Amino acid sequence: MNQWKNFSKGFIKDNPVFVLLLGLCPTLAVTSSAINGLGMGLATTFVLVCSNMVVSLIKNLIPDKVRIPSFIVIIASFVTIVELIMEGFVPALFEALGIFIPLIVVNCIVLGRAEGFASKQSFISSLIDGLGMGLGFAFALTLLGAVREALGNGSIFGYKFIEGDAILVFILSPGAFIVLGYLIALLNRFKKAT
């Protein structure tokens, strides 16, 4: 497969959030601001790339019957690494993301790529696939976070452009569902047009 296509499919065509609808829990939970969305997206990207690489390297060593538990252990190890790194270097972000950092381990997109892609493909393809999918996920989270932050707080990446109060409900839980719903509808509309 063309490697560029392999990389870029994660952004629009097979975007994990907008099209595949995988990993929605962290998507909805941490995107109350753009910076949180970006941080979560990058943490997931790291786990996705590393687990994809390792899975594609050892795919022939794992017996078929225990492959899912083995994948989960691989993923959980990388999540623990991310957890420790984030706690050490970006404690504020670690606090803000809270329980959703360990929950990367149950993010369907990571296991989905390990099982659906890396366990069948070569090392390089898996690496690129992980990077593309991860960045597509980060892109979706940042976009969602930016929209919610703009509507709910009048700011983007902490830079305030509206004085005073905004529509607070968009950074609370109902706003997450509604904004994501409309973003997907918008994307469907664009895909029809092309």
Partner 1 sequence: MEYLIIIISAIFVSNIVLAQYLGICPFLGVSGKVSTSVGMSGAVLFVMTIATIVTWLIQTYILEPFGITFLQTISFILVIASLVQMVEIILKKISPPLYQALGIFLPLITTNCAVLGVALLTVSRNYNLMEGVVFAVASAFGFGLAMLLFAGIREHLDLMDVPKGMRGVPIALVTAGILALAFMGFIGLV
The amino acid that residue 72 corresponds to is I
As measured in angstroms, the least distance from the Cβ of 99 to partner 1 is 5
Choose among 142, 131, 156, 136: nearest CA to 38: 142
Work out how close the CB of 72 gets to partner 1 at its nearest, in angstroms, rounded to a whole number. 6
3-state secondary structure of 160: strand
Least distance to partner 1 from the beta carbon of 122, Å?
26
Residues binding partner 1 (CB under 8 A): 21-22, 24-26, 28-29, 68-69, 72-73, 76-77, 79-80, 83-84, 99, 102-103, 105-108, 111, 169, 172-178, 180-182, 184-186, 188-189, 192
For partner 1, the closer of residues 109 and 150 by Cβ is 109
Residue 139 exposure: Cα atoms within 13 Å on the Cβ side: 16
Q: Are strands 159-160 and 155-156 parallel, antiparallel or unpaired?
A: antiparallel
Tokens 């907008």, residue located: 18
Q: Which is nearer to partner 1, 78 or 139 (CB)?
A: 78
Cα–Cα distance for residue pair 83/74, rounded to 1 Å? 14
Return the number of the residue (128 or 179) whose C-beta is nearest partner 1: 179
Burial class of residue 31 in the structure, from the number of CB atoms within 10 Å of its CB (0-12 exposed, 13-18 middle, 19+ buried) = buried
State the minimum distance, in angstroms, from the CB of residue 159 to partner 1: 26
Report the residue number, 125 or 142, with the smaller CB distance to partner 1. Answer: 142
